[in-house]
Chain A
Amino acid sequence: MRERLEALCDAGLAAAAVAESVAQLAEVESSYLGRTGALTAQLKELGKLDAAERPAIGKLANEIKQQLQSSFEARRVVLKRQQLDADLASVGVDSSLPGPTVELGSVHPVMAIARELEEIFQSMGFVVWDGPELESEANNFDALNIPSDHPARESHDTIWMKSAPGEDRRCLRTHTSPVQVRALREFGAPLRVIAPGRVFRQEVQDATHEHTFHQMEGLVVGKDIGVPHMLHAMNSMLEGVFKRKLETRLRPGFFPFVEPGFELDARCPFCKDGCKVCKGSTWIELMPGGLVHPNVLTAAGVDPEVYSGFAFGLGLSRMAMLRYGIHDIRYMCSGDLRFLNQFQA
């Protein structure tokens, strides 16, 4: 009996090892452990054994049954995996095929820059303020220390609305600077404010001239504010935009509403030793700015003996052109989807 059982065990283990499919293995398993299986038959004969032999042979038979069961199970896992691998390998798939098209919207490049700058300035504690596009001559010019006979007021520079004789003249604001005065009248000093918005000039359109474009005015007023504060704030802002420090420099510039007035240049962020954008100079003229003219503070109801401040004007359309390498400003108001859909939110 013992020999027969051990022979059965060896034969069963061998059969399991050569079974080549799950089905074949099932047959082998059934032929040993099934109701009519060889081991089952042996187990049934255990009862016929002597009482003395029974416990030892019974124990052995059970051990052999368990050994066979675990061997069949182990073999089944292997065969199933082989089967799965074979199935996977046999299916023809083209994983290079695209998925369903997702239509994307897009943001306008100028607005993208504007929103980004708004976020940066808000994070630095600036109020974002606004003013009307149809502006009074008083706010657009007088309050900004622009002399009454200044050429900018002429019809070849400024777009004027029709007005009845004697009526105060109204124009499309030529810059966002009137918001300096509006914001100061609203909030008083001290104040940190930016004012992005649409501005208008009498321009013949070409690749670099548009009658409708965007600016962002900035104004900081407080006690003992000077040029070093302006320079620091501008450097911080540029670091926010370009995600790294850029060298800057101030040059003299003239604007009636600031004194002293500056042009702020930054090291060209696009090259090391001169490129098309910086015209080989490695400097880019970024924005005009300066210390707020006392006459502007006075016009806005702020005492220039107590307060001083700085103002700056960012050309948003120009910045968008610089950042994205847009060579023709006329695309900006074209609505051409082939232009617009390149700028993702």
Chain B
Amino acid sequence: MKISLNWVGDFVDISDKSAEEISALLSMHTAEVEGIEYSGANIAGVVVAEVLTCEQHPDADKLSVTTLNYGAEETVQVVCGAPNVRVGLKVALAPVGCVLPGDFKIKKAKLRGQLSQGMICSDSEIELSDASEGIKELPADAPIGARLIDYLELSDAILELDNKSLTHRPDLWGHYGFARELSAILKRPLKEYPSEFEWPAEASEYTLQLDDQQQTSCYQLTELSVGGGPQVSPEWMQQRLLAVGQCVVNDIVDVSNYVMLELGQPTHAFDKDKVSGKQISVRRATAEEGFVTLDETECTLMASDMVIADADKSIALAGVMGGANSEVDDTTTSILLESASFDATSVRRTALHHNLRSEASSRFEKSLDPNYTLSASQRVCQLLCEMRDDVKVDSAPVFAGSADVASERLTINVANVRTLLGIDISDQDIDQNLTALGFEVEANGDDMQVLVPSFRATKDIQSAVDLVEEVGRIAGYDKIVPQPLCAPIEVPKQLDYRRLASKLLMRLVNNHQAHETQSYSFIPDAWAKLQGLSCDDFIQIANPVNDAVSLMRQNPALSLLSQVPVNQREFPSGRLCEFTKGYAEDDENGEAIESRILAMLIWGPSDLPKSGQQSLVGQLRSVAADLTGLLNINAQYQVNPDDLQSRFGFAHPKQCLALSFARQSLGIISRVHPAVVSALGVDNSDVAVLLLDVDALVDAQAKTKFKFSSPPTFPAVKVDVALALPTGVDYAAAHNAVSAAAGKLLDQIELFDVYSGPGLKDGQHSMAFTVLLRASDRTLGDKEEQSFIQKVSKAAEQLGGNLRS
């Protein structure tokens, strides 16, 4: 919202303060000022001049050649196209060198051969009006050579307030509210709001009908005759309205806007002749009722919309906008002035639903003081009658409802105020600060009884702590001295899963080249089907940011996959990781389950081996082994478990592993199904993912006990064995067979070669292991080594192969 400091100056003396000072005061005590505009600054070079001569241009019918005196030693010649230019007229001259709005610099020029040393300005050229005919005519007593902004008092500073910082303050939606704030901050008197108006004694013939007093606490209607119809507003009013960004229409509309910008209370004028009957009612709309607003928006009303209606039609959307059917126009000779208090929520919903946010609705949304309705009617009538002799209030206003606000008497304890604020403020200052803001204070020992004024009681001041804020902000938060907190020395409780997840995540980043990312919690509906699921299998968003993205993901695998395409061009392989959440409905108690998942996704060229250490799954298995090893968890791996694909629809049927510990699932490693990979726009790459259930890891770690063993006393025997086995026998089987053969003597076992080709039968492959055998109580001899080799040989035969010599 914009406020003019000249306007504020009507109510409190701030003439000795610069705009910067006022802006800083308001920002520190009231609400955030986002910027200052200096109006008039853009026409500072324009001066008052008198037309000395005025001749017809020799070569152009519509141009005149004039000479002007603007207070300089020499007169200037200016070519002018306006029909109203004439000798003796006082005009606004932009001399050579002057810059007009729009960065328009005045230069010496020749117009059809005649020298022109400046420009005589119209209202619109110097932004005094939206439109104008001819050049601006100044009064005959305008002093030649004076700056126009000084003569017309156009110099003003406009503060732009952050609307968000005003939402809780219904009293700050007009200039008067800011004047009150400044009077409290500067400890200067505040002028009373000028709403004196003597109503005529005649009773109105209109009656009012309020259907729902919850929605409309009060409604006042005043009949006015406007004689010659709407006119152009006086210049001072136009200037003020334009300065704060309000467009100028005609005096009836302008006065209504002026009062709204001054006090905060919107009013509305209906053309009385267009209103049928003598009863105005405020009622709910009929569902599906059609309505055309005065900005010509066609709406279909909802039954919850409140309307103002005459005998046979709706004439306004309450608090939002008037109707085209009762609009004031050039032929209007009498008006009905509405000043009412509408329910904030109802107005907001109506404005939002019909996309009709107006200056009025944005104010009603703030819960305005109902008492404003009375002041606003009076002020509108006062201004109109002052401005024009042909405007007359026909009868006393009709009023329905009640402007009473349930103003509570709040009790504050002064000692408590001082403790909470940490400002050493006297009782007297507390009293003074509150009183200046309109509160009535009554001291009672250590307590103060505070009566909240109606303009603060509708919304923001509800309890004693609200008054603590009022006292503090007027006193100044800069008076608060920081003070250390005294608290017990205790080790704060922490969440195990957070600690563990950070440890693992840093391990991924520092040891496994992973890049930590963030991915969205919601996924496109289309991904349900990709995973063999339906949308109903997911928690669904009622109002998604994007209509096609309405599912809460069960796990982050595809979210991470969707981040691969942006990287593919520059990174043929890469690793992403994230500690994040999956979401599912708990069928038992209807609450959502949020599973904490540590995820790592890797991609690489599609010609990588599909199994073994180089393969993506192999790489992730190393990573998983490192992570579980870090936690001392001896994880078990199950290859291609039957249920894995049904739980993770993106999994590869033959390249997936389930991790577990003590029969509790810890997570999975899987290549992502190529169909899913290509559906997400990833080309020529293979992708694999590791998902670890962090809570399960916490449980597993809790069950694991570290056991120290002394460094071995006796040496180990190193034995290499190679087994030729049918290709159907996998590493896991071979590993188990060799381990079993070593029995209790097994110290270490490591695969060092996998081979197929010459020297082996068709359908065979060879796996070679280095095995360390060791006993804790003796040095092993040749006999034990031979016994082990024989057992391996027998095991190889049982697997359908043989020991290679």
Which residues of chain A have a CB within 8 Å of any CB of chain B? 103-108, 110-111, 115, 122, 125-130, 132-134, 149, 151, 154-156, 159-163, 167, 170, 172, 187, 190, 192, 198, 200, 202-204, 211-212, 220, 222, 224-229, 231-233, 235, 249-254, 259-263, 291, 293-295, 308, 332-338, 340-341, 345
Contact = CB atoms under 8 A, between A and B. Distances in A.
Given A159-B541, A229-B484, A212 B520 contact: yes
Given A127-B493, A134-B592, A161-B539, A259 B570 contact: no
Nearest to A317: B518
B517 A340 contact: yes
A134 B539 contact: yes
16 contacts: A105-B575, A106-B509, A125-B489, A133-B581, A134-B539, A161-B541, A190-B487, A212-B518, A226-B422, A254-B167, A254-B460, A261-B469, A334-B566, A335-B560, A337-B570, A340-B515
Contacts of A156: 352
Nearest to A123: B492
Chain B CB within 10 Å — which of A231, A335, A338 has the most? A335
B473 interface: yes
A222 B494 CA distance: 20
Given A125-B492, A133-B581, A151-B348, 18 more contacts: A130-B495, A130-B498, A133-B583, A134-B583, A204-B545, A220-B485, A228-B422, A229-B422, A229-B483, A250-B480, A251-B32, A254-B167, A254-B168, A260-B421, A260-B469, A295-B463, A332-B518, A333-B519
Contact of A202 (B169, B469, B543, B594): B543
A263 B420 contact: no
Contacts of B493: 127, 187
Nearest to A119: B502
Contact of A232 (B483, B509, B517): B483
Given A105-B508, A160-B541, A163-B542, A134 B552 contact: yes
Interface of B: 27-32, 165, 167-169, 344-345, 348, 352, 365, 419-422, 460, 463, 465-466, 468-469, 472-473, 477-478, 480-485, 487-490, 492-495, 498, 502, 506, 508-510, 512-521, 539-545, 552, 560, 562-564, 566-567, 570-571, 574-578, 581, 583, 590, 592, 594
Contacts of A224: 419
A334 to B, nearest CB: 6
Contacts of A228: 422, 480-483
Chain B CB within 10 Å — which of A110, A133, A235 has the most? A133
A130 B30 CA distance: 34
A122 B521 contact: no
B303 to A, nearest CB: 18
B469 to A, nearest CB: 3
A100 B478 CA distance: 57
B594 A132 contact: yes
A133 B583 CA distance: 9
Contacts, number: 213
B506 A345 contact: yes
A295 B563 CA distance: 43
Contact of A260 (B472, B564, B590): B472
Given A105-B513, A122-B494, A170 B592 contact: yes
A122 B509 contact: no
A259 to B, nearest CB: 4
A251 B27 CA distance: 7
A210 to B, nearest CB: 10
Nearest to A157: B543
B348 A333 contact: no
Nearest to A126: B492
B518 A233 contact: no
Contacts of B502: 115
A207 B539 CA distance: 29
Contacts of A293: 465
Chain A CB within 10 Å — which of B419, B420, B495, B575 has the most? B420
A166 B687 CA distance: 44
A103 B513 contact: yes
Nearest to B561: A335
Nearest to A104: B513
B421 A107 contact: no
B466 A259 contact: yes
B618 to A, nearest CB: 17
Contacts of B31: 252
A341 B571 CA distance: 12
A249 B478 contact: yes
A105 B516 contact: yes
Contacts of A149: 344-345
